[in-house]
Structure 1
Amino acid sequence: MAEQLVASLESMGQLLLAMDTGVGLLIGVGLSMSASHLFSLLANRLTPTQILLHMAVDGLVLSLAFLLGILCHSLMLMLLEGVPLQPITFANRMGAALWPGLFYVLAAAPYVSDLIAVSLLAWIHLNVLVLLQVVYGIPLLTGLVVATPGFVVALLLVGLLFAQRWRTSYDMLAREVADLTQP
């Protein structure tokens, strides 16, 4: 059992090394999305070490969500279009579609945060559709069928993490305020 786990981890490490460009961008997008929670972490008066730990863990989980979305894209491309490809090559090519996510930190802006977040996520999805058309010759409507399931998986994972993290942050802040207001 332990040998199988070690072999799986080594395989995953080799995959990450082969995807060096895509992984760097994935991690950058994850960290940018994580940084959008900086204000709630500061409001909870966490220490700088706790804030960095929260941001690092969230950034890695968000990066994993987008990586799973890209892997779903590659699976759908193979199933629907019969395009033979390696997930590493596909992830490196599709990783370029994620660059608007580097600006996700702007979603922390008050009043316009939802508009910024939706616009950036739509831009990422559009980039994937365009790359599918340019690189693999997939028409936009077919690309929509290929890319939407992976995009939905990524959005669900991102939404679950954000909902959990925001709920925890606001519960912590509410407890602090309640403690301060009680005699």
Structure 2
Amino acid sequence: MRIISGDKKGLTLKSVPGNTTRPTSDKVKESIFNMIGPYFQGGVMLDLYAGSGAMGIESLSRGMDQAVFVDRDKKAIETIHLNLKIAKLESKGEVFRTDAQRALKAIHRKERKFDLIFLDPPYAKQQLKQEISFIDEHDLLVDGGVIVLEHTSKLSLSDHGTSYSLDREESYGDTTVTILTNRPKEEL
């Protein structure tokens, strides 16, 4: 697993030991960043099911100012810390060991907002519609902000039930990437 582009291009990252996480393939990662970037002029991103932290670190490498990493797995949290250290990005990352729902509630209480939110939960435990509804209802995404959802191709998010625009949906075998954008209210 490597960083594909940006300041840290080519840097190899560690995977989470064992088989508790499903890393995003380099092909899918490259496609995602081509759809949403490929580079950023600052901003804050949230990686809600961070695993190794590769998506957040890729975002930092491509210009995000700060990344918040959330995962409930102890090995994943250790791997994120290690990968931030390898990339010399410790000062740009906040790492929390908790589940997604608790993290979203804590973020709401702290009144934080994000420019980019990446959601890639385990396919068997996906609650994406509820999570994006919470993000929308509690205004956790800035105007113009983007949510990237990586999910099983069996799940359709065309009727996601939020005010966000569905900008793109691409399938890669059993994986689908859906891009939602928080359009400024005056554009709607």
Decide which structure has greater helix share. Answer: 1
- Band of TM-score, shorter chain: under 0.3
Decide which structure has greater strand share. Answer: 2
Give the TM-score normalised by the residue count of structure 1.
Answer: 0.27
Give the TM-score normalised by the residue count of structure 2.
Answer: 0.26
Larger Rg, first or second structure (1 or 2): 1
Work out which structure has the larger RCO, using CA pairs closer than 8 Å and 6 or more positions apart in sequence. Answer: 1
